[in-house]
Amino acid sequence: MDDTAEFEEFVRSRGHALYRYGVVLTGDPDDAADLVQEALLRLGDAWSRVRRKDDPEGYVRTIMVRQHISWWRRRRRERLVDAVPETGYQDERLAGDGGLWAEIRALPRRQRAVLVLRYYEDRSDEQIARMLGVTPATVRSQAFRALRKLRVLTSRDGVVLTARRTR
């Protein structure tokens, strides 16, 4: 299979997952689509090199996080959505947690990015710090603040939130 066919197959098989990841990062379906498109354009340019590595999807997700941060620094404003759009891709980790994802979307962008990378992507603080261009201490403080906000929000609703790392 040639490079172009492999790249097209990767986009077909992982495109929906990357879009949902983009929605979680940006909180906006239109921004998520732009983010995925930009990341896939960059991946297409480097596909022959990246496809030989162990994790091309991880490479794309890193591009998406960095691009999102770049846009977010430029804009410095938030646009939240009421609901994450549904697509054909279903992730079992999201089943039954619609309320929690709504609360996560209400967090500031940096806190939301840290929580998504830490708990959804299961990244270490050092990996997150490299991806976001901050120190590990900043990652920990952003995670602490985000979890504190989530605990306050969920305790008002009578739900107790406990976050557990898998590592």
Per-residue pLDDT of 102-147, as tens digits, reads 778 888 889 999 988 888 888 899 999 998 889 999 999 999 999 8
CA distances from 56 to 27, 43, 121 (A): 24, 8, 15
Q: What is the pLDDT of residues 2-54, one digit of tens each?
A: 778 888 888 899 888 999 999 888 888 888 899 999 898 888 888 888 877 77
pLDDT band at 95 (very low <50, low <70, confident <90, very high): low
Burial 57-83 (b: 16+ CB within 10 A, else e): eebbbbbbbbbbbeebeeeeeeeebee
| Pair of tokens at residue 19 | 């879009």
Across residues 72-98, what is the average pLDDT?
Answer: 59
pLDDT at 164 over 50: no
pLDDT at 149 over 90: no
Q: Which H or E element spans position 158?
A: none
- Taking the whole predicted model, whether its pTM rises above 0.95 is answered as no
pLDDT at 92 over 90: no
Nearest-10 Cα torsion for 126, 132, 134, 139: -60
Q: Residue 80's pLDDT is what?
A: 61
Residue 2 neighbours by CB distance under 10 Å: 7
Three-state DSSP at 101 gives: helix
